[in-house]
Amino acid sequence: MEQVWLFCVLLVFVASLVNAEVHFHEFIIQETPVKRLCRVHNSITVNGQFPGPTLKVRNGDSLVITAINKAQYNISLHWHGIKQMRNPWADGPEYITQCPIKPGGSYTYRFNIEEQEGTLWWHAHSRWLRATVYGALIIRPPLSSPHYPFPVLPKREFTLLLGEWWDRNPMDVLNMAQFTGAAPNVSDAFTINGQPGDFYRCSSQETLRFLVGSGETVLLRVINSGLNQELFFGVANHKLTVVAADASYTKPFSTNVIMLGPGQTTDVLLTADQPPAHYYMAAHAYNSANAPFDNTTTTSILEYKDAPCVTSQSQARAIPAQLPGFNDTATAAAFTAQMKSPSKVEVPLEVDEDLFFTVGLGLFNCPTPNTQRCQGPNGTRFTASINNVSFVFPRQNSILQAYYQGTPAGVFTTDFPPVPPTTFDYTGNVSRGLWQPTRGTKAYKLKYKSKVQVILQDTSIVTIENHPMHLHGYEFYVVGTGIGNFNANKDTSSFNLIDPPRRNTIGTPPGGWIAIRFVADNPGVWLMHCHIDAHIFWGLAMVFLVENGEGHLQSVQSPPLDLPQC
């Protein structure tokens, strides 16, 4: 306890010297009755709130968050998009950087905000608990330079957390899928800040309204905190000007609709330049796969302060938003293609590590098909993999703890393949002999400050799909993308090495590829995974093990004394 107290005192002292602030929070994870769609469920929440508390900080501030687990499940918390320089102990994915916090236990996450501004979020990183355990993390510019670099400064800000709601315990949905090997049931509703909106039963009385004055420009911080679904979002009759994504500023561009994969954030400016009225803000699925999906629409309302009063039921509904079709990949791709950094950035021009990762689904064959535990296609079990390795989360220790203690045996190996074991037509008609991956808990080692390129290649095994791939501990530049199989000889020449967007989560185009680059300057153990949670538990994940550099400032910090044990 003395070490913790001294750490907090030191944080406050250092922060005072640089005009920064230390924010202390207590997160109590607990069951809370939540009523949606006419039914009450005992949902897992933080501090009894759904969604959870919004964290508001400035670039340069520090956070000290004590998580106290009063729920019946193991849990850990992840601060999505925070780089956690030299501090993987605060990153949060269970069995990767820490053992989970057991019921009755606690753990204090301590971390700094370093050279980051914009919209991020936090969520549980244990099984499907993030269905209800999530909240926004807003990073404003430092007091020394407090203004946003936007074409117009917003009059006010609204945060919109897009979520998914199951009319049952999400953990039961996961457990059933794990037992049967089939795909999990899709959600029963989408939500905006926890509310489904006007188009669902027992919901219209709670539909959220966001008040604006005519002529005002407002900033919408939009976060896809859903578990499994990419989403289109738009506001009826209003243009949106994109100014940031994943807490990185972008070259502003105008659009009618935005598309966000799970984990992604987008900041947009909206000017209230329409006749005073009530306008729907709406989100529904972008479904890139040949698979069932939730086809409902969540809404909130942009309400002009001087809009006419509603005097009859016929006037009660707002002006509808026009969203793309559920499978409109062209619109999704066109939106993503417009993302660029505001100016020239420092992208690695040469690479030390040239990695090629196939990402996609698969099927495990069953000795006895069509049994209770083999309810996937043709009596199989669903799986997923990167480079034909279906990731298995360890249980006896976290990978980071095992690595730090020098006891990797039985926890992980460092032989993750840099390329697929077999070359094939990734987006063509793939032989069924390639549909079954191997299981393993494998990491890929990177030298400190090595320049890394990763090609993320979607496959047509089971189905092509947009896989939102998230890399912990890093931001990366998205330097190229294309449809079909990546061809280094012709595709590399089209890379954008001038002003590519910087992201922490990026989707693979359905039946295509994406190229990212970063410098491995953050030592530790860092998870890369698909942010569709149905896919991560099937194994669509891997781990980068970034080695220490030279000296204290290039090495992983010592573990905190209260780090949970397995």
pLDDT digits (tens, 9 = 90+) for 125-168: 999 999 999 999 999 999 999 899 999 999 999 999 999 999 99
Q: Where are the domains of the chain?
A: 22-140, 156-337, 353-554
pLDDT digits (tens, 9 = 90+) for 7-30: 544 554 444 445 799 999 999 999
pLDDT reported for residue 315: 53
pLDDT digits (tens, 9 = 90+) for 247-298: 999 999 999 999 999 999 999 999 999 999 999 999 999 999 999 999 999 9
Which CATH number applies to 22-140: 3.30.2130.10, 3.50.50.60, 2.60.40.420, 3.40.50.300?
2.60.40.420
Burial annotation 124-141 (CB, 10 A radius, 16+ → b, else e): bbbbbbbbbbbbbbbbbe
Q: Which long-range contacts (CB under 8 A, 24 or more apart) does 490-496 make?
A: 491/515, 496/340
The C-alpha atoms of residue 474 and residue 517 are separated, in whole angstroms, by 11
Mean pLDDT over residues 225-251, rounded?
98
pLDDT reported for residue 175: 98
pLDDT reported for residue 18: 56
pLDDT digits (tens, 9 = 90+) for 90-103: 999 999 999 999 99
How far, rounded to the nearest angstrom, does the alpha carbon of residue 129 sit from its chain's CA centroid?
14
- pLDDT above 70: percentage of residues in the chain: 96
pLDDT digits (tens, 9 = 90+) for 517-547: 999 999 999 999 999 999 999 999 999 999 9
pLDDT reported for residue 312: 53
Q: Is the pLDDT of residue 6 over 90?
A: no
pLDDT digits (tens, 9 = 90+) for 335-364: 999 999 999 999 999 999 999 999 999 999
pLDDT reported for residue 313: 56
Is CATH 3.90.470.10 the classification given to domain 156-337? no
- Candidates 515, 469, 503; CA nearest to 246 is 503
pLDDT reported for residue 310: 74
pLDDT reported for residue 246: 98
Number of neighbouring beta carbons within 10 Å of residue 326: 14
Q: How many residues appear in the chain? A: 566
Q: Say which residues have a Cβ less than 8 Å from residue 339's Cβ, sequence separation at least 6.
A: 242, 245, 250, 478, 501, 503
User: Average per-residue pLDDT in the chain?
Assistant: 95
Mean pLDDT over residues 398-415, rounded?
97
Mean pLDDT over residues 196-201, rounded?
98
**Residue type (1 letter), 92:** G
The CATH H-level superfamily of 353-554 is Cupredoxins -  blue copper proteins (2.60.40.420)
In sequence order, the β-bridge partners of residue 530 are 469
Per the listing, tokens 């990212």 go with: 516
